[in-house]
Structure 1
């Protein structure tokens, strides 16, 4: 599979394309990374250096790919954090061009906006842009629980309510939705659910709540889910493989005693996902 991934990049650590590209390549996919920023490190450190690329610069890079006559070879477009609605507009224009050239191509959007305990951490206007403009264009959507509630315009606490919110989101565009970090009755009780919903049904995996929350896990999750979903056509299988690989990455990160996710150390669990979790059917 050939994947056009339009995301941020860091020299040190793993977020954005620096988190998504290696796992996708380890699974045997060809990735075309287009950078929206090129920072020294992720912003979680509180200080960083490097440029934020202008929307026109991002557009120029993609136009150069199109000049090679290969844009229609892309099987998927992947996007994550969108720091500026203008960059989001470039991404949506790109999705439209790719799909015009290859109607079978899919767009996977990780709608990065905020999280429980932190609230919204993106610029004003981005959440509404995600909800009103980006969501209807996506084929695959990978929000966390907090982001799902915003996109669906409701507060969910039970799995039944989460599924109702997913249904509301799917009615507006994306056929496949993966919801991460689903709290049980709104409380972190030592475990989290990850929920996958497609036309074929809905499944959940319950994972232990590990004592770390490193940057970049959502970026890896979106990339792996897109890869496994596209390769197998099964949300159930993609859920099992993705959660098992990400859990192994987190375990390796804890063992290393670092705040940066250990993609290289856990690469075998990425290439050959262990059978750690078995999804249970919700409907």
Structure 2
């Protein structure tokens, strides 16, 4: 039984963190070994608040040891990480990734560097952003930042498509082999835009921007899991990117149709595997200072 270790937050109600990432990976055919960094009653954007607590970093070390004893680390083909509740948890994540790779050098580390966004600011405790930027992102094979997180990693502002391409190329020189920008805010107001960069190639994917009364939570976790699944299926990087864009839109669209705020992952589960709506990728081409894309 081979699988994916997913180290993220967990909510009892709704879909965010592992509650958003685990089922799509399972639905696409993979076993998942989830490790929760926090367990909350619901995600933190509820005005009514939430209950629950963060787990001690030692939990990750203890669970890693238990998995190692039964030989599960040898069967791990990917480690996916999202929200971390402390610097100590980040340190344990780094140790786990190293240990998994020692058993399975072909395994991949997919890092969703959850730090914040322009409208939310920094949403993690002191020291976490620095550890993610300095240690976890450089050691990752794949990073899945939003525009804000990419700008922090690349050390530059992103205000245009040209900036985004340049930031992705800079990120590729800092350790990761693949960069998937899960949300580019500055590219379009009426379309949801993502970007993919690897080797010397760069693509943009866009889908309709649906209006919600309140911003959805857990979409980035969904995107990370879908992309990881595509890579583990040994699809081309571009195909995995295209599929994750279409499948994520299917979940968001179903959520909109049902008038819900929590992602309707279960209701849209068939389209996680085979999305109905298709969106072509645009290939970004940079010639000196001129950048364009065609869809």
- TM-aligned CA deviation for residue 229 of structure 1: 2.3
Q: How does 1:54-203 map to 2 (within 5 A)?
A: 54-184=56-186, 188-199=188-199, 201-203=201-203
- 1:5 aligns to what SS in structure 2? strand
- 2:279 aligns to what SS in structure 1? coil
Higher helix share: 1
Q: Say what the alpha-carbon RMSD is for the aligned residues.
A: 1.4
Residue 263 of structure 2 corresponds to which residue in structure 1? Answer: 261
Mean alpha-carbon deviation: is it higher for 57-66 or for 216-225? 57-66
Quick check: 1:83–1:122 contact (8 Å CA) kept in 2? yes
- 1:206 aligns to what SS in structure 2? strand
Quick check: 1:242–1:273 contact (8 Å CA) kept in 2? no
Q: 1:152 to 1:200 in 2, by over 3 A?
A: closer
Mean alpha-carbon deviation: is it higher for 167-176 or for 203-212? 203-212
TM-score, normalization by structure 1: 0.95
Quick check: 1:197–1:235 contact (8 Å CA) kept in 2? no
- TM-aligned CA deviation for residue 123 of structure 1: 1.4
- TM-aligned CA deviation for residue 200 of structure 1: 5.7
- 2:194 aligns to what SS in structure 1? strand
Q: CA-to-partner distance for each residue in 1:216-255, whole Å, 9 max, x for gaps?
A: 1010001101111232342211111001111111111111
Residue 4 of structure 1 corresponds to which residue in structure 2? Answer: 5
Residue 271 of structure 1 corresponds to which residue in structure 2? Answer: 273
- TM-aligned CA deviation for residue 184 of structure 1: 3.7
- TM-aligned CA deviation for residue 205 of structure 1: 1.1
Mean alpha-carbon deviation: is it higher for 37-46 or for 5-14? 37-46
CA distance in 2 between partners of 1:101 and 1:181 (Å)? 33
- TM-aligned CA deviation for residue 50 of structure 1: 1.9
Residue 208 of structure 2 corresponds to which residue in structure 1? Answer: 208
Quick check: 2:109–2:141 contact (8 Å CA) kept in 1? yes
TM-score, normalization by structure 2: 0.91
CA distance in 2 between partners of 1:200 and 1:38 (Å)? 40
- 1:232 aligns to what SS in structure 2? coil
Q: CA-to-partner distance for each residue in 1:56-106, whole Å, 9 max, x for gaps?
A: 122111211111122111000000011211001111100000000110010
CA distance in 2 between partners of 1:132 and 1:264 (Å)? 36
- TM-aligned CA deviation for residue 211 of structure 1: 1.1
Q: How many residues align?
A: 281
In structure 1, stretches of 5+ residues that fail to align are none
- TM-aligned CA deviation for residue 5 of structure 1: 0.7
Quick check: 1:139–1:176 contact (8 Å CA) kept in 2? yes
Residue 244 of structure 2 corresponds to which residue in structure 1? Answer: 242
- TM-aligned CA deviation for residue 275 of structure 1: 4.6
> 2:29 aligned with 1:28, yes or no?
yes
- 1:181 aligns to what SS in structure 2? coil
